[in-house]
Amino acid sequence: MSNESERLLISGAGAAGLSLAVGLKDAPYEVVLVDQNPVPDKDFLAQDTRQIALSKRSQYYLESIGIWDSIKSYVTPIEKVHVSEKVFRTRVILNAADHELDNFGGLIPLGRLILTLHEAIESQDNLLYLPDTKLLRYYADHEADEAVCHFKNSEAEFSHAFKWMIAAEGTHSTLREMAGIQTAFTDYDQVAVIAVGTFEKPHNNVAYERFTSRGPLALLPVNTHEMAIILTVKREERAKWEAASDSSFSDEVLFRIGAELGMITSVTKRHVWDLKLMVPKTLCAEYLTLAGNSAHALHPIAGQGLNLG
Ligand SMILES: Cc1cc2nc3c(=O)[nH]c(=O)nc-3n(C[C@H](O)[C@H](O)[C@H](O)COP(=O)(O)OP(=O)(O)OC[C@H]3O[C@@H](n4cnc5c(N)ncnc54)[C@H](O)[C@@H]3O)c2cc1C
């Protein structure tokens, strides 16, 4: 039985907030998960082709909360990581087998991970999920020793008191800002152009990180011949890459990686992300802990954002 007078708030139901909520399924108190967005459409999530790399540690966490078995058939393992520099032709190859691991983790469609986490919270006894609910502000009630949060949904504004709050609100966090936690932002002056491409040759479960004078490129293995492509370009070129044809995008990827994987035979629609480094001065404040992108935002070249927890 959960103790409803001992409530914990998770603000934000992205991958970080959802996986924390599932991880608290045996906690002896009520967990309230709010998100300003509506419940995501299950068909949309199931068809989402955006890929995310999960490290071995993320795999162990998902195993510990009972999620891994439901998603492991969708995961493409990374067995080797090939890091190289184009001009000087230097390279380092990391092999999971050398570290007595079967792999370094793997790629999963982000929508599949979110969908599975949503299915898990549906049957969670100690969880109250409030979609379409935006956290507006909070104040500390020291006499009652709790934080009082103010929310808004389509019908009303209302308040709830919590013993603890977790900000999983992404890079721009209301809770973090209201707690007065300072952040250092560094602008990379770059955007990431992401897509999934199919290559002529099999990738053999190798991930590539390639550094070039035009910016870095990451290729992460999916299935047998597909690669999640993260092409980093200068921000001033954003419009050019948003409008780029499949063939000019593929040409740029091949210019950076070379002939190792053969030609690109098809490529999905591109998504473009602004890249910034965000480091908060502290991860905790009175009644509050930061998680996911509320706790850090970094360059996606090494695929570590969510993996850092
Ligand atoms: C191009 C690219 C590639 C990446 N690849 C990888 C990778 O391979 N591996 C990896 O680990 N990471 C990767 N990352 C990083 C990863 O995507 C993020 O770290 C992760 O998705 C962030 O999840 P989150 O739950 O913290 O935040 P979000 O997904 O941003 O979720 C935040 C949620 O909070 C809600 N919210 C915000 N404010 C409020 C409020 N006031 N009230 C209520 N709800 C609110 C929002 O609606 C949203 O649903 C990549 C990032 C980029 C840009």
In the chain, domain spans: 3-71+111-184+277-302, 77-104+186-275
Q: What is the whole-number distance in angstroms between the Cα of residue 13 and the centre of ligand 1?
A: 9
Which element (helix H / strand E) includes 204? none
- What CATH number belongs to 77-104+186-275? 3.30.9.10
Q: What is the whole-number distance in angstroms between the Cα of residue 295 and the centre of ligand 1?
A: 11
DSSP letter for each residue of 157-184? EEEEEESEEEE-S-SS-HHHHHTT--EE
Does any ligand 1 atom lie closer than 6 A to the CB of residue 13?
yes
How much is the pLDDT for 6? 84
Contact 110, 51 (CB under 8 A): yes
Strand partners, 108: 52
How would you classify the pairing of strands 29-34 and 3-11?
parallel
In angstroms, rounded to a whole number, what is the distance separating the alpha carbons of residues 149 and 164?
11
How much is the pLDDT for 4? 58
Does any ligand 1 atom lie closer than 6 A to the CB of residue 79?
no
Same fold, 3-71+111-184+277-302 and 77-104+186-275: no
Q: Which atom of ligand 1 is nearest to the CA of 194?
A: 1
Q: State the first-to-last Cα distance of the chain, in angstroms, to the nearest integer.
A: 28
In angstroms, rounded to a whole number, what is the distance separating the alpha carbons of residues 289 and 236?
36
The owner of tokens 């008191």 is: 161
Could you tell me which of 294, 296, 217 has the C-alpha nearest to residue 260? 217
Q: Which atom of ligand 1 is nearest to the CA of 37?
A: 47
Return the sign of the alpha-carbon dihedral for residues 180, 189, 91, 100. positive
Does any ligand 1 atom lie closer than 6 A to the CB of residue 37?
yes
Does any ligand 1 atom lie closer than 6 A to the CB of residue 216?
no
Q: What is the whole-number distance in angstroms between the Cα of residue 170 and the centre of ligand 1?
A: 5
Could you tell me which of 70, 52, 41 has the C-alpha nearest to residue 106? 52
How much is the pLDDT for 128? 97
The correct answer on CATH 3.50.50.60 for the domain covering 3-71+111-184+277-302 is yes
Tokens of 263: 């030609």
How much is the pLDDT for 1? 44
Does any ligand 1 atom lie closer than 6 A to the CB of residue 12?
yes
How much is the pLDDT for 303? 79
Read off the pLDDT of residues 124-147 as tens digits, 9 standing for 90 and up: 999 999 999 999 999 999 999 999
CA angle 308, 140, 174 (to 5 degrees): 45
Does any ligand 1 atom lie closer than 6 A to the CB of residue 34?
yes
How much is the pLDDT for 305? 82
Nearest CA to ligand 1 atom 30: 170
Q: What is the whole-number distance in angstroms between the Cα of residue 184 and the centre of ligand 1?
A: 18
Which element (helix H / strand E) includes 15? helix 15-23
How much is the pLDDT for 3? 59
Q: What is the whole-number distance in angstroms between the Cα of residue 113 and the centre of ligand 1?
A: 13
Read off the pLDDT of residues 215-247 as tens digits, 9 standing for 90 and up: 999 999 999 999 999 999 999 999 999 999 999
Tokens of 226: 């597909």
In angstroms, rounded to a whole number, what is the distance separating the alpha carbons of residues 61 and 59?
5
Q: Could you tell me the CA-to-CA distances from 298 to 158, 275, 278, 294, 303 in Å, in that order? A: 34, 7, 7, 11, 9
Does any ligand 1 atom lie closer than 6 A to the CB of residue 105?
no
| Spans in the chain with pLDDT lower than 70 | 1-5
